[in-house]
Chains A and B, each alone.
Chain A
Amino acid sequence: ETGVTQTPRHLVMGMTNKKSLKCEQHLGHNAMYWYKQSAKKPLELMFVYSLEERVENNSVPSRFSPECPNSSHLFLHLHTLQPEDSALYLCASSQETGGDYGYTFGSGTRLTVV
């Protein structure tokens, strides 16, 4: 495996379900990110981790809960979501926070909340 891998690719969940998104990077990067991408809107930064420590939490509702057990893995735990949370969720990594050399993105999870 190379780059950044995300699973699952697609997820449909009810508003009362609990699910988790998984991200793994094989690049030796120190920073990892969760982004939300909705149609016609800029990428919305949700969480930033640097060396497993959360350094940014952009006022994200508590129904989204991140976890970073080590510098290669990142999870996003989802519970009691709303239909407006339906979007593409992207994981990214970079050598350091701020991404002087840019970010590498995973393929994303297309989430639909019904």
Chain B
Amino acid sequence: QKEVEQNSGPLSVPEGAIASLNCTYSDRGSQSFFWYRQYSGKSPELIMFIYSNGDKEDGRFTAQLNKASQYVSLLIRDSQPSDSATYLCAVNSFMDSNYQLIWGAGTKLIIKP
């Protein structure tokens, strides 16, 4: 059973601080890793993807990948109340005869003004 694990939270972070979200995955063969943001009552939207070990930065967001340890993380700098949402981690995995995204249950992030 290929799995993606996330702490469900809620993770409470003061406004302006760095929010750190973590995700571990079980399939060593996974090649693509994604972070989605989902506001309450809305659908998930892609905010970052990463394929290679190391860091990838996009504005206030940094994705970090460590394939040896099988974890991927998302850092949000200068957190804003508008960042309050559930963050879903997804990992590309080969199952049956094709690749699928395997999803974590999400971490709820609350940014306190």
Q: Measured between alpha carbons, how far is A97 from B36 in the docked complex, in Å?
A: 18
**Out of B45, B97, B98, B99, which one reaches A105, CB within 8 Å?**
B45
Contacts of B45 in A (CB 8 A): 105
What range describes how many residues of A lie at the interface?
A: 20 to 34
Q: How far is the CB of B23 from chain A (nearest CB, A)?
A: 12
Q: What are the residues of chain A within 8 A of B99 when measuring CB–CB?
A: 97-100
Supposing A40-B105, A42-B105 touch, asked if A102 and B100 sit within 8 A by C-beta, the answer is no
A42–B104 contact, CB under 8 A? yes
Set A56, A98, A108: member contacting B43, Cβ < 8 A: A108
A41 touching B105 in the complex, CB below 8 Å, given contacts A99-B92, A102-B46, A107-B42: yes
Name the A residues within 8 Å of B53 (CB-CB).
none
Determine whether A64 belongs to the interface, using a CB cutoff of 8 Å to chain B. Answer: no
Which chain A residues numbered 34 to 82 have a C-beta less than 8 Å away from chain B?
40-43, 45, 48, 50, 55-56
Decide yes or no whether A104 CB sits under 8 A from chain B.
yes
With A41-B105, A100-B92, A102-B49 in contact, do A48 and B100 touch (Cβ < 8 Å)?
Answer: yes
Count chain B residues whose beta carbon lies closer than 8 angstroms to a beta carbon of A: 25
CA distance A15 to B109 in the complex (A): 36
Query: Nearest chain-A residue to B46 (Cβ)?
Result: A102
Does B85 interact with chain A (Cβ within 8 Å)?
no
- Interface contact A97-B46, CB-CB below 8 Å: no
A103 contacts B105, CB within 8 Å? no
Contact between chains at A104 and B46 (CB < 8 Å): yes
Q: In the assembly, what is the distance between CA of A88 and CA of B45, in Å?
A: 15
Q: Please, what's the 1-or-0 string for B83-105, where 1 marks a CB less than 8 Å from any CB in chain A?
A: 00000101010001111110111
In the assembled complex, the Cα of A14 lies from the Cα of B45 at a distance in Å of 31
Q: Which 8 A-B pairs have the closest CB atoms?
A: A98-B99, A105-B43, A43-B103, A102-B46, A42-B103, A42-B105, A108-B43, A97-B98
* New A-B pairs, 12, CB < 8 Å, besides A56-B100, A110-B41: A45-B100, A48-B98, A55-B97, A55-B98, A98-B99, A99-B34, A99-B101, A100-B32, A100-B99, A102-B34, A105-B44, A107-B42
Q: A residues touching B (Cβ–Cβ < 8 Å)?
A: 40-43, 45, 48, 50, 55-56, 90, 97-108, 110
